[in-house]
Structure 1
Amino acid sequence: MASVETAAKRDSSPSSATATGRGAEGRPGGEDACGPGTLAVHAGEARRKPLDAITDPIFCASTYTFPDSQSVIDYIEQEQSREEYGRYGNPGERVAERKLAALDGAEAALLFASGMAAFVGVLMAKLGQGDNVVFTDECYHRSRQFCREHLARFGVETITVKTGDYDAIDAAVTPRTRLLVSESPTNPHQSCVDLDRLVEIGRRHGVETMIDATLATPYNLRPISAGVDYVLHSCTKYLGGHNDLLAGSVAGAADKLAPVRDLRGVMGGINQPHSVYLLLRGLKTFELRMQRHNENGLAVARFLESHPRVEKVYYPGLESHRDHAQAKKYMRGYGGLVTFLVRDADWRATADIVDRSQLCRIAPSLGGVESLIEQPLVMSYYQRTPEERRQYGIPDNMIRLACGIEDTADLIADLDQALRA
């Protein structure tokens, strides 16, 4: 199969050049690189599309035909840029992958059916029996579960270290370590990784690094520019942006992603054509949406920090956050996710505040145009013991708010009435 890099080179679009390489400020394409808004609209797309449509069509074919046997041989021997079978690729998927690579400032990107599918795909392709992975403790709980319960069955050891403890990360690396995995920011505590230190540890030990940057998005954070090997996104969140699709992506060097692509073709963790279309459509307004998410997140965090019923706010854009300096160093903005603790409240009083919200919807996930609110104890950790919740840093009085793109004043007014009632 042709690589993403080959496909990008064959694209007649000027924007296809932005899918490979990095120039000034970590942007793809060199000195004449476009900004994130332009990349979100044009990167990876052909200038002229089928039937002169301005949008890329939805290709629902599961198989693709050849005019003769020699064409099949040419396709195999010359690695021609075309499709053969839907499990190995889709024309719309190739466009989305080139666009995502451009946004991340990476050489290539690979699309999966969900963020978890992307995470599992990388680890399954990169780790084997006897290897180990060093994992920070604030990563997504389902990612931790996959490592702890499923990778272990294949003889892969997971070493968990405290997020932000770089001496512990360094000490945890052994000759069997193949991957260092973290998130930035983390969910729900919003801890931010010092990317330079993580990359230095990885390179000194000859170990690859991966950052789940779902909460940051490529608009706010570009780990590839700092030397991180793989950047993971749940495209279900900000990149899709409308709470109407599931998708995941991983970006990095084309040669390093090649075995991950091969494994995806075997496992079949691909996305459906209509979901790819929705992702491409959502990305057109990605920069505009992120600007509002950033504005709402910071304004709401500042409001909550000054509210008498709020004990603590977790938001990296606040100077009170322990990782504010690192966030300010690496990030353009701080996103729409705000976590806070209600002062002197048990789980029921906290749930009452969530229930009183009239504008925010009670739901998991984040990154869509609608604001969502939930109590982590109830939504994600209800079946965990109190001891486990304490271990994960999930107190009973915690609320997680994913700010959408509504008017800031309306979000604040809704929170205020819910807190004061």
Structure 2
Amino acid sequence: MIDKKKYKESTLITHAGQNSSEHFGFVNTPVYRGSTVLSENSKQFRERTSRYFYGSKSNPNTESLSEGIKLLENADGCKITNSGRTAILLSLLSVLNTGDQLILSDNVYEPTKQIAEKFLSKMGIETVYFNPKDLGKLEDKITKRTKAVFFESPGSLTFEILDINKLVSICSKSNLFTIIDNTWATPLYFKPFKYGIDISVHAGTKYMVGHSDVFMGAVTYNKRAQAYIEETFDILRISSNADDAYMANRGLRTINVRMKKQFENALRVCEFLSDHKKIIEILYPPFYRSRDHDLWKKYFLGGGGSLMSIIIDNENNDIETLDKFIDGLSLFGIGASWGGYESLVMPIFPKRETTKEWLKYPNSMARIHIGLEDADDLIQDLGSSLDSL
């Protein structure tokens, strides 16, 4: 096992979780497909002391991947799930029980809200929302039934960054579990456990996999949350299969190279868009003209995802103008998800419970993912489409 204290991050990314001597010298952990794992004797089976007991719990592929993610995020443990949604579900089911209350940041990923409102509600778990830019009111929402606060930073679609220290301080006073969706920043650019957060979830489908061809999720955690996460995971077994874990592990080895290039591209695109007459605002905190840039500098390690949103000057507020902009792009695929090597775009209509901020821009917002293409080509493509409006 590699010593994380001895090596820098790029070296950890290359070697963490790779144990070639255990696999006849092969650099990459071979794919271990299997359900049944044989024990050496009856006592080992009874006491479940073998390294692997059953294929749905773990295998060399998920173990290798989880070890790499755990080291990068400085976590005490990591569980690999079969999607980002099941990672979210695992984190919530681990710490919530019937009668509890969950507090959600109003800008979280829409499926997180669906899990809370359409699934957790059936278990008698109440969900309330807080405005991520008004933490002063968060404390007022906490009751004796509140058990956890789940948030994203930056938020989904609108990219608000929370004051993490203040949020964790508020939650600590009431002994609440804190859960962050860290998919945008990844373990490279935000270290949640440094700030006292208990659980971090990832849609590994995005930057960890990096090629838009595998579903995968991850849940990392500190010692406080360890027993809760591991028991719930053992019950649900919402684990990734060996083939997908192999592919995700391969993607993880290049995450730093890909994200650095995509981040550089994103900043160049922002420079261009910020001066274009058809752009009202860019929602991308790493960009110096964006909202929450100072908070990004405070909490993030000089980088992040290449996902952003833009607000277009749509005088008539008609959907046809937004469609024309999106359809006029040649290098941006129209599709959901992000984090792959390719650039993407989609129309967005942020729905919020605690603010009317985004209602000011009907039919005027698009989410853009910047890929590995040449930045000059992306800029030309965006400019051509904007100029046609």
- For Structure 1 versus Structure 2, the TM-score category normalised by the shorter chain is over 0.9
Per-residue deviation, 1:140:
0.7
Q: Secondary structure of 1:354's partner? A: helix
Structure 1 residues 388 and 182, CA gap change in structure 2 (3 angstroms): closer
CA offsets, 1:56-97, max 9 Å, x none? 111001110123212313x42xx44x1111121111101111
Match of 2:305 in 1: 335
* 1:370-409 to 2 correspondences below 5 Å: 370-377=342-349, 395-409=362-376
Q: Is the 8 A contact 1:184 1:212 kept in 2?
A: yes
**Correspondence 1:51 to 2:24:** yes
Match of 1:129 in 2: 98
CA offsets, 1:374-414, max 9 Å, x none? 1124xxx8xx9x99996875731111110011111111111
Structure 1 residues 86 and 254, CA gap change in structure 2 (3 angstroms): farther
Q: Secondary structure of 1:373's partner? A: strand
Q: Is the 8 A contact 1:114 1:246 kept in 2?
A: yes
The number of residue pairs the alignment matches comes to 384
Q: Is the 8 A contact 1:297 1:334 kept in 2?
A: no
Q: Distance in 2 between the 1:391 and 1:328 partners?
A: 24
Q: Distance in 1 between the 2:141 and 2:126 partners?
A: 12
**Correspondence 1:356 to 2:325:** no
Q: Which amino acid aligns with 2:348?
A: P
Match of 1:4 in 2: none
* 1:68-217 to 2 correspondences below 5 Å: 68-73=41-46, 75-76=47-48, 79-80=49-50, 82-217=51-186
Q: Secondary structure of 1:48's partner? A: helix
Q: Distance in 2 between the 1:389 and 1:197 partners?
A: 20
Per-residue deviation, 1:218:
1.3
Q: Is the 8 A contact 2:104 2:128 kept in 1?
A: yes
* TM-score computed with the length of structure 1 as normaliser: 0.87
Higher relative contact order, structure no. (Cα contacts within 8 Å, ≥ 6 residues apart): 2
Match of 1:67 in 2: 40
Q: Distance in 2 between the 1:306 and 1:142 partners?
A: 34
* TM-score computed with the length of structure 2 as normaliser: 0.94
CA offsets, 1:276-299, max 9 Å, x none? 001000011010011012111111
CA offsets, 1:151-173, max 9 Å, x none? 11111111111112111112211
**Correspondence 1:369 to 2:369:** no
Q: Distance in 1 between the 2:382 and 2:149 partners?
A: 38
Q: Which amino acid aligns with 2:341?
A: V
Q: Is the 8 A contact 1:116 1:143 kept in 2?
A: yes
Q: Distance in 2 between the 1:65 and 1:255 partners?
A: 33
Per-residue deviation, 1:263:
2.1
Q: Structure 1 residue runs of 4+, over 4 Å off?
A: 386-394
Q: For the aligned residues, what is the CA RMSD?
A: 2.1
Per-residue deviation, 1:104:
0.9
Q: Secondary structure of 1:409's partner? A: helix
Q: Distance in 1 between the 2:256 and 2:288 partners?
A: 25
Match of 1:300 in 2: 269
Match of 1:419 in 2: 386
**Matched-pair identity in %:** 28
Q: Distance in 2 between the 1:147 and 1:392 partners?
A: 23
Gaps of 5+ in 2: none
Q: Distance in 2 between the 1:279 and 1:374 partners?
A: 25
Structure 1 residues 153 and 204, CA gap change in structure 2 (3 angstroms): same
Q: Distance in 1 between the 2:305 and 2:240 partners?
A: 26
